[in-house]
Structure 1
């Protein structure tokens, strides 16, 4: 059955899902309960953008399995707290084998925390800023074309957000990273047609009260 629809895989429970989780239990749970479901909580948005930055050059599964370690290391990704931390924190993290010990990516968390505080002051919340870029139908790629999605993991909208964030001083926010963030946080619904989660996610998106930017 799944073989008739590119990009889908059938689980042990008989349900069809996007194939990228490979039926690995923790990855499947992430797919079923988190990926694509709309998020408006600022700390979760900040966390995901940081973790997508850590993922650069790696697999999301690697990051997912270290996520609790990252949360412990970075104050639960409370960007208001992180923005007050001294640069010396970076050296401490470089000794932490439980996270990705990449100096640039670690430093980026603290830099982006300060930029996040500024963005909240400007727009009222991170959610209001990011959701203001929710793509319209004509701005979306063909989500039913699995090969096209894999070949072009960025869009005009993610490129626009990336350029704006970089202009504001953010780091590790390239257009591919931003699009992965958009997919995960529900700004788009990229569950493949036929995946049982697609309709659930779309229902949540329809019910969502979009945050409004202060400017």
Structure 2
């Protein structure tokens, strides 16, 4: 049986692939956390972020946007001094800005509802034979990226957004021979 090859043999990566990646996420706050972490991944590997995820959660107040939206320069400096996370001023400041954008969307329509509307609240079920067929971005991720930026989000280019869509189950990109493909497909409704 063929499986997705990207996790390699790293136990943490394999566990992430087997239990999280592609599982539909319907919770607004959890979606926002995943979008922010995908933004921190820009220029790095996902395993780097995965290994630092607990430190990120601690440093960013459990990814509660209501708290982060109130942060300022003192908090940016505190985070820049934290060796447990990716210390990138632009990404940290972008997280604060994105928290404010999130709160606006959450108040108006609900962030999860807004995000899932891009796929009509139904995960896209791709049927790739191999990882070589899986795109890095799509016209849909490009549109969502533009709309996120327009709403005030940062570090959300089309490739980051597609990775986010894959991670949150908006798109099922487990290859057909992967045991997770059918498991994730069965979770296609909230």
TM range (shorter): over 0.9
Instruction: Report matched runs for 1:104-115 at 5 Å.
Output: 104-115=90-101
| Equivalence for 2:138 | 155
Q: Deviations over 1:74-129 (max 9, x none)?
A: 01111111112223210111100000011001111101000000111221x11101
| Equivalence for 1:146 | 131
Farther-moved stretch of structure 1 (126-135 vs 34-43) = 126-135
Assess if the C-alpha contact under 8 Å between 2:69 and 2:100 holds in 1: yes
Aligned mates of 2:103, 2:187 — CA distance in 1: 28
Aligned mates of 1:141, 1:200 — CA distance in 2: 13
| Equivalence for 2:54 | 68
Task: Tell me which stretches of 4 or more aligned residues in structure 1 moved more than 4 Å.
Answer: 139-142
* Structure 2 unaligned blocks of 5 or more: none
1:180 paired to 2:163: yes
Larger radius of gyration: 1
Aligned mates of 1:31, 1:136 — CA distance in 2: 22
Assess if the C-alpha contact under 8 Å between 2:39 and 2:155 holds in 1: yes
| Paired residue total | 189
SS in 2 for 1:38: coil
Assess if the C-alpha contact under 8 Å between 1:141 and 1:155 holds in 2: no
TM-score calculated relative to the size of structure 2: 0.93
Assess if the C-alpha contact under 8 Å between 2:41 and 2:49 holds in 1: yes
Post-superposition offset of 1:143? 2.8
Instruction: Report matched runs for 1:7-18 at 5 Å.
Output: 8=2, 17-18=3-4
Aligned mates of 2:125, 2:155 — CA distance in 1: 23
| Equivalence for 1:212 | none
What is the RMSD computed on CA atoms of the aligned residues? 1.8
Task: Considering Cα pairs closer than 8 Å and 6+ residues apart, tell me whether 1 or 2 has the greater RCO.
Answer: 2
Q: Deviations over 1:134-171 (max 9, x none)?
A: 1799x88763352132xx31011110001111111211
The correspondence for 1:45, drawn from 11, 31, 38, is 31
TM-score calculated relative to the size of structure 1: 0.83
